[in-house]
Amino acid sequence: MKEITPGIVIDPEIKGGKPVIKGTRVPVELVLGKLASGMLYEEIMLEYELTKKQILEALQYATHVLSEDEIRAVP
């Protein structure tokens, strides 16, 4: 397991190596998708047993990834 940013880890044995919230099996992309669909922080926290801090760490990681030079179009 490798922490790639505070609170976010990758491990080939967990979700095929996708970034997940540290201490869970919850992928960052799942949290982002739930937020994008209009789910509230509190609902995500309850459904996936996360803290607000963990959700914010997922958002921070996504911000970092999007700030990289290479941008890809979404189909």
b/e map of 31-62 (b: 16 or more CB within 10 Å)? beebbeeeeeeeebeeebebeeebbebbeebb
Which residue ranges make up each domain of the chain?
Answer: 2-66
Residue 34 pLDDT greater than 90, yes or no: yes
Is domain 2-66 annotated with CATH 3.40.50.1220?
Answer: no
pTM over the 0.75 mark: yes
For residues 51 and 55, give the distance between their C-alpha atoms in angstroms, rounded to a whole number: 7
Residue 72's pLDDT is what?
67
Relative orientation angle of helices 28-36 and 41-48, to the nearest 10 degrees: 140
Query: What is the per-residue pLDDT across 48-69, written as a single tens digit (0 to 9) for each?
Result: 999 999 999 999 999 998 887 6
